[in-house]
Structure 1
């Protein structure tokens, strides 16, 4: 049996209120594209992505962990990224007999992504998908404050059901809308200097700016403060549309899980664990479900008996 192209597999869940862009973040990571219109998730949708973890990649300038400006363009095109939106993993050359390796062998982790429904109607059922998760993206919409006010409830539910010490990153999504600047009056060729602006000024608008103000309703400072007070690993602002920081958010979770593996915090041979080793899965007669390096996904709807059949487990 051939070895899978990854060393570990970890279950990650994307949680948060409906309409925050959880599905768009998953699609951006797994498929490297942005979907303008996406049906509301009912049940759970799946995706996967194999990412490099640990050195040498985590120490390189190519890693989004070391490059805060790393992002893809609106159409997903970026010469330094794969089709799935992640930087191309560094290839470690094979050792020659009698020659010491130039650097540690690169490890890879398959992220098994579970994109859960955010509607209150399904919340009691979708909580079952938290079981066995070792990492989570807790997502809210920067332009809707109510979604930020609910993240504490989501986190409490997650910690009651998921793996102990689950790795959580708080994600403020839709940064492209939250930070968008309306056009300047100086650059508006259709606006006569003697005419009043098209929109009335509001107290928080800059002088000389016309149009509606940015739609941000949650500041970075208060989100970072919430993350610190609630023991969350980090706060990251993302845009599923442009790709800004999407890789970084997922990679922060993957790197922390890898560090926990190195510290011996997981039983990689336990089939109930949210993290497993490739060798353990091979010994059990499977190389892990889901697509390979190229990513992909599927879904389970909350109808019939499907919801109970897939609850728990890693993949």
Structure 2
């Protein structure tokens, strides 16, 4: 049997109030498209995306320069690229399904806590969502705060922003959240960055020995005894999404 095209699988949950764009963010990452109309999530929907983690990919964004101010040519690395399969659990945000939604927090290694920057009430509820998450999930779960619908806040004809960047950033800092990122599922701005930030921190935690890769409850699964196969991934092969319910 051939080895899978990934080295690790990590379970990520998208949580937050209904209508914040959690499903749109998942579809944007997994399929690279935006759906202007999406049915309300009942229970949970699933998606997946295989992404590169760690060097040499993680070092490509930091370009050094020579003494003459010119960028140095890329260095050939002998380090094999690691890949992580993000198993995305897009949860329902409606109060009606909250008891069901909480059950999906177990075994998650990462979470995107999403609110709508054009609706202050959704930001006011992120503390409750975080408390629910931390009461059920692993203490080492990686959490990132995501302010979605940036495209509406930047609209020329009307500024609909109700939550400032500084306000959300300060909340993230006070509550021990990894980072605050503003995204637009419609344009795709910063969507991949948000998910990749979580993936990279999970990879750092793997290297630090924080997960039992043989225990499903840790939220991260490692390669089998033979190790994972290193392959080149096309954009189409690394994306996928499927629907589901409670």
Relative to the length of structure 2, the TM-score reads 0.88
Match of 1:248 in 2: 193
Quote the offset at 1:114 in angstroms. Answer: 0.1
Q: CA deviation at 1:301?
A: 2.1
Structure 1 counterpart of 2:241: 297
Partner of 1:137: 112
CA drift at 1:300 = 2.7
Shift of 1:214: 0.2
Match of 1:5 in 2: 5
Q: Residue 279 of structure 1: CA displacement? A: 1.3
Question: What is aligned with 1:118?
Answer: 93
Counterparts of 1:53-72 in structure 2 under 5 Å?
53-61=53-61
Does structure 2 conserve the Cα–Cα contact (< 8 Å) formed by 1:6 and 1:110? yes
Counterpart CA distance in 1 for 2:9 and 2:19 is 28
Q: Unaligned stretches of 5+ in structure 1?
A: 68-100, 183-212, 284-291, 303-315
CA contact (8 A) 1:14 1:113 kept: yes
User: Offset at 1:281?
Assistant: 10
2:80 to 105, 129, 148: 105
CA RMSD in angstroms comes to 1.9
Counting matched residue pairs gives 227
Paired with 2:163 and 2:152, the residues of 1 have a C-alpha distance of 12
**Aligned partner of 1:218 among 142, 163, 186:** 163
Aligned to 1:160: 135
The question of whether the paired residues in 2 share the 8 Å contact of 1:269 and 1:280 is answered with no
The match for 2:27 is: 27
SS of 2:25's equivalent?
helix
Structure 2: where are the runs of 5+ without partners? 64-75, 229-235
Match of residue 185 from structure 1: none
From 173, 178, 186, the counterpart of 1:233 = 178
Tell me the residue number matched to 1:39.
39
Take 1:43 and 1:282, find their aligned partners in 2: how far apart are those partners? Answer: 34
SS at match of 1:28: helix
| 2:124 is the counterpart of 1:149 | yes
